[in-house]
Structure 1
Amino acid sequence: MPEIGLPPRRLRLISLAAAAALLLSGCVNAGGDEDSGAADAEAEPMTATSVPAGELAGAAEDYTEYYEQDIDWTSCEETMMCADVTVPMDWADPGAQTDLEIRIISSQSGGDQAEYLLTNPGGPGSSGYDAVADSLAIAFSEELVEHYNIIGFDPRGVHRSAPVNCLDDAEMDEYREQVSDEQLDAESSYAEARESAAELAARCESESGALLGHVDTLSAVRDMDVIRAVLGQDELNYLGFSYGTKLGMTYAEHYGERVGRFVLDGMLDVSIDAHELNKGQALGFEVALENYAQWCTEQATCPAGDTVDEVVDGVQELFAGVAENPAQGADGRTINVSTLVSGFITPMYSRASWPLLSEALTMALVQQDFTSFQYFADLQSGRSPDGSYGWINSFVFTAVMCLDYPMPQDPDQIEAEFEEVSEEAPTFGPYLGHRAVVCEEWPVQNVTEPWDPELSEVDELLMIGTTGDPATPVEWAENMHEQVPQSALIIREGEGHLAYRSGNSCVDQAVDGYLLGGDLAEGREDC
């Protein structure tokens, strides 16, 4: 999965930029299109009276205390209810580590009333709590909010649920402002990349400890099944976005008989490896840039050129110029190419934000003022104007990726994969780093890998893709639909990441019709 990185070899190898969680994050739709495999280990459905067999099994009492726990709902966010759900840090050995508390939020003040719909907005690293607390009326239809008690949760390692931490505010600023030495040769740059990755890994281990080894997707999915149980649900109803679709697919793989009505919007292809994921997203953003360029040239003025090729070339030159000579923001911080590309990508998630992108481009090209791009990058990174950071999702993003995806160790293979992405996606590819080195230095080892889904116990589910989605290309949804023949597929014709609540009534009616009434058309439908 790509992460914005600096182009010099040292930093592009370790891929340590601040936009980590951007690319698979399911951003909330507002007033138009807007906006992000894993498990070989066997996992049987677990309930208070059913304990899994196999390598992850434990004594019945090891799991019963989690599945039979009572949770205490308390008022929060003025009109909502919150609770903590206790889960083991290590599902393979409950009791070996301190338990974790998973924070959940209920959209209805009754807390334990009505039917439940669990949701996750993506990432890895995005807060499901925030999605419900801050964006309920935007992200979900009025009918869903009336019918369901919508449950948001912060997965393990995220924000309010035992968060992965690495750096303080000042260190985070320094980390984001890194500028590398262009003069390093291949051997020395690789050595420096490993050294930088090792330093970050040591800080993350110091701040987060054993948690780093237990934030993989399968562990988060086990937590989801505990949430189902403590809510008193025989089946789990679920609406997942972007990376949240991987959580959904993993749940369906391991707990198929517990699957209720599942909607997966912005499908992640769980069968592809990290390199194909990286390349697919880089190509997705190339297509999104061309679509933006076409739109831009049809406006009264387009800051980057009069043709699509001129706009694309202008953006490439802008990136290359800042890569060679970083700019300085009004507050004195360095605006390197990582910040620029992160800030550029952020408004590309929504067609409704394209005018803002044009304004930022005008300032950059005419006045050499990159303030808007710095603002967008700060917004994505969780930085407030006062210099403090809220939830920093980039580190748990890295932690999940290193656990979920095997990475190559051979420097030649790493370089070859990077060059392939750069060649096929010439605008964004050169600035998308490779995660292999940072994962090599990470204090824990990979535990799962991509897989071909076999959802024999699942009767039906709804997958959704968008033709112009840069973060989760439509081909991923089409491939998953082909591999899961009992799935229905909706393809939204349009730009931006995600389809539900993007202003497309065809999609909204199909999603609500299924979640509210079980109405699901067979095969594929284009909206």
Structure 2
Amino acid sequence: MPTHYRYGVSMRTSRPATVAVVVAALVTALLAGCDAPGKEQTPTLDPSASSTQGADPLAGAPAGYESYYGQTLEWESCGGGYECTDADAPISWQDPDLGSIQLALKRLPASGDRQGSLLINPGGPGSSGVEFVTSAASIIGDRVKGAYDLVGFDPRGVGGSAPVKCLDDADKDASLSASYPHTTEGIAAMADDLEAWAQACDENTGEQLATVDTQSAARDMDMLRAVLGDEQLHYLGFSYGTQLGATYAGLFPQTVGRMVLDGAIDTTLDADEISAEQAVGFENALRAYVTDCLGGRACPLSGSVDGGMQQIRDLLDRTLEDPLPTDSDRDLTQSLTFYGIALPLYSKANWSLLTNALSDALEDGDGSTLLYLADFYNDRQPDGSFSSNSAEAFRAINCLDDRGNPDPDFMAEQAEEIEAAAPTMGEFFTYSGLTCADWPVPEVEQQFDLHASGAAPIVVVGTTNDPATPYVWAQGLAKTLDSATLVTFEGEGHTAYGSSNDCVGDAVDDYLVDGTVPKDGLTC
């Protein structure tokens, strides 16, 4: 069942870098060309902004939380030149007496003249920074790796950091595979499924379920900044990681160091607006794929671009009523078909995988390749187990941050609007208000400044045909943050740094290492 959330496939928005980097060794050809309109002068940050000397670990520690800010980490080798540890964090940043949890961290020490630590987040919400830091080392520039310890961490509720626990593997598998028609009965069944998730999360996670919100994770990052010995937070966030970074900047503007937010989320939009705009993002990305496919060889689609889009829509409709057989004992349901189609849209380098998958499905009636792609997205293993809790964490974090409108009339009206704007993919972004309708803990009140007034320059990166975080979101975030500069990559795919071209890469590297802020409006 495609879950109706904010940012990604399976509406787990972001699987950004993890999807864009890992699938089939994705990051390949660099695209050339770059245009840089805008400011004539290139501003440069104060070099002291990257200093780690003389940092007071207790500076900025909230009353009652000094022991967390003052803790000493014990790093141990964990293979491949990496070091791992755990940091203590409070269960609640509102009540220090509730006890503590542990946050998992993994770092690659700087290879050159160290300037500090660079925290990185791959998105989600729900993706593991500990896992991501290994693949991130292949996309982050050598100059950056020379200057910074790359530090990946699992945000609270994710992976190795007091993970959210909900359904067992068998029930989770059944839920992710389930498909529901948009009938009165189908929507009611979908609501029951989502309610079962909520009850299981409440029963199996406990009191921590109420404290895995993005603002709490951002407060954890400030504690980690102090524990790592940095006066300012240096940060690279992808997709949902941009929301986490922008939240940090709103809470702690005076300690923002060099911050890059790639594949940006517009923090001014509500959950329903996010769903509607993301549907169009995936529709546009699919149309770009279909156009490319029809212009090449061995494309399983035929006729016009509109005709090709309709053939994909027909496949989605067919698998609702008649799931395709696969080379396993599982059938390809409509939900799994959607995941399998959406996943390769995260990177143009993966379009050939989608062509192969569609060829198998449309020409041979075989859903095996689409099922493989869907399983990859959902972190499902061949034995039916799951390698992560990303789906659970995604729901839990989003339901604390922002909730869609559960009013039936509103959802029905919005569904019509979304499907009109995105007739092929839009159905899977509708009825998002059901996701958190029965969530057992209340939404967290926003306590930060959306504009991050007083923060140092922040670099926002957007890709013009990004499916998961549409380009208009990068424009919106850059406009909202007082100190933001927007870098635009003209191309396809989700996120740009490390997977686009030298223009983007050099701009980000020069900023992180030298403090050179890109020209406002840089287009690559």
Q: What is the CA–CA distance in structure 1 between the aligned matches of 2:380 and 2:163, rounded to whole Å? A: 17
Report 1:15-414 matches (<5 A): 19-23=10-14, 25-27=16-18, 28-29=20-21, 30-32=26-28, 48-52=58-62, 60=63, 62-96=64-98, 98-108=99-109, 115-133=116-134, 135-180=135-180, 186=184, 191-414=188-411
Is the alpha carbon distance of 1:132 and 1:245 closer, same or farther for their aligned partners in structure 2, counting shifts above 3 Å? same
Q: Indicate conservation of the 8 Å contact 1:452/1:483, yes or no.
A: no
Deviation at 1:204, TM superposition (A): 1.3
Q: Indicate conservation of the 8 Å contact 2:126/2:390, yes or no.
A: yes
Is the alpha carbon distance of 1:248 and 1:488 closer, same or farther for their aligned partners in structure 2, counting shifts above 3 Å? same
Is the alpha carbon distance of 1:78 and 1:300 closer, same or farther for their aligned partners in structure 2, counting shifts above 3 Å? closer
Deviation at 1:47, TM superposition (A): 6.2
Is the alpha carbon distance of 1:18 and 1:169 closer, same or farther for their aligned partners in structure 2, counting shifts above 3 Å? farther
Is the alpha carbon distance of 1:18 and 1:295 closer, same or farther for their aligned partners in structure 2, counting shifts above 3 Å? closer
Query: Partner amino acid for 1:164?
Result: V
- Partner SS for 2:97: coil
- Partner SS for 2:311: helix
Q: What is the CA–CA distance in structure 2 between the aligned matches of 1:398 and 1:334, rounded to whole Å? A: 25
Q: Which moved more, 1:231-240 or 1:455-464?
A: 455-464
Is the alpha carbon distance of 1:75 and 1:274 closer, same or farther for their aligned partners in structure 2, counting shifts above 3 Å? same
Q: What is the CA–CA distance in structure 2 between the aligned matches of 1:157 and 1:222, rounded to whole Å? A: 14
Is the alpha carbon distance of 1:190 and 1:339 closer, same or farther for their aligned partners in structure 2, counting shifts above 3 Å? closer
Q: Indicate conservation of the 8 Å contact 2:103/2:154, yes or no.
A: yes
Q: What is the CA–CA distance in structure 1 between the aligned matches of 2:210 and 2:414, rounded to whole Å? A: 26
Query: Partner amino acid for 1:130?
Result: E
Q: Indicate conservation of the 8 Å contact 1:294/1:308, yes or no.
A: yes
TM-score if structure 1 supplies the norm length? 0.88
Q: Indicate conservation of the 8 Å contact 2:489/2:500, yes or no.
A: no
Deviation at 1:18, TM superposition (A): 8.7
Q: What is the CA–CA distance in structure 2 between the aligned matches of 1:101 and 1:386, rounded to whole Å? A: 29
Deviation at 1:483, TM superposition (A): 2.5
Q: What is the CA–CA distance in structure 2 between the aligned matches of 1:450 and 1:94, rounded to whole Å? A: 18
Query: Partner amino acid for 2:90?
Result: P
Is the alpha carbon distance of 1:393 and 1:85 closer, same or farther for their aligned partners in structure 2, counting shifts above 3 Å? same
Deviation at 1:51, TM superposition (A): 4.8
The answer for unaligned runs of 5 or more in structure 1 is 6-11, 35-45, 53-59
Identity of aligned residues (%): 37
Query: Partner amino acid for 1:32?
Result: T
Q: Indicate conservation of the 8 Å contact 1:177/1:333, yes or no.
A: no
Q: What is the CA–CA distance in structure 2 between the aligned matches of 1:406 and 1:33, rounded to whole Å? A: 39
Q: What is the CA–CA distance in structure 2 between the aligned matches of 1:301 and 1:477, rounded to whole Å? A: 35
Q: What is the CA–CA distance in structure 2 between the aligned matches of 1:33 and 1:260, rounded to whole Å? A: 31
Query: Partner amino acid for 1:26?
Result: A
- Partner SS for 1:326: coil
- Partner SS for 1:84: strand
Q: What is the CA–CA distance in structure 1 between the aligned matches of 2:412 and 2:389, rounded to whole Å? A: 28
- Partner SS for 1:441: coil
1:159-186 C-alpha deviation (Å, 9 max, x unpaired): 1111111122222222223244x5x963
Q: Which moved more, 1:432-441 or 1:447-456?
A: 447-456
1:417 and 2:414 are equivalent in the alignment: yes
Query: Partner amino acid for 2:316?
Result: F
Q: Which moved more, 1:464-473 or 1:71-80?
A: 71-80
Q: Indicate conservation of the 8 Å contact 2:346/2:493, yes or no.
A: yes
Is the alpha carbon distance of 1:89 and 1:390 closer, same or farther for their aligned partners in structure 2, counting shifts above 3 Å? same
Q: What is the CA–CA distance in structure 2 between the aligned matches of 1:185 and 1:264, rounded to whole Å? A: 40
1:9 counterpart residue number: none
Q: Indicate conservation of the 8 Å contact 1:347/1:356, yes or no.
A: yes
Q: Which moved more, 1:403-412 or 1:472-481?
A: 403-412
1:494 and 2:491 are equivalent in the alignment: yes
- Partner SS for 2:237: strand
Q: What is the CA–CA distance in structure 2 between the aligned matches of 1:312 and 1:130, rounded to whole Å? A: 35
Deviation at 1:435, TM superposition (A): 3.1
TM-score if structure 2 supplies the norm length? 0.89
Q: Which moved more, 1:20-29 or 1:79-88?
A: 20-29
Q: What is the CA–CA distance in structure 2 between the aligned matches of 1:449 and 1:327, rounded to whole Å? A: 45
Deviation at 1:138, TM superposition (A): 1.9
Q: How many residue pairs are counted as aligned between the two chains?
A: 493
Is the alpha carbon distance of 1:138 and 1:263 closer, same or farther for their aligned partners in structure 2, counting shifts above 3 Å? same
> Once superposed, what is the RMSD of the aligned Cα atoms?
2.5
Q: What is the CA–CA distance in structure 1 between the aligned matches of 2:426 and 2:448, rounded to whole Å? A: 26
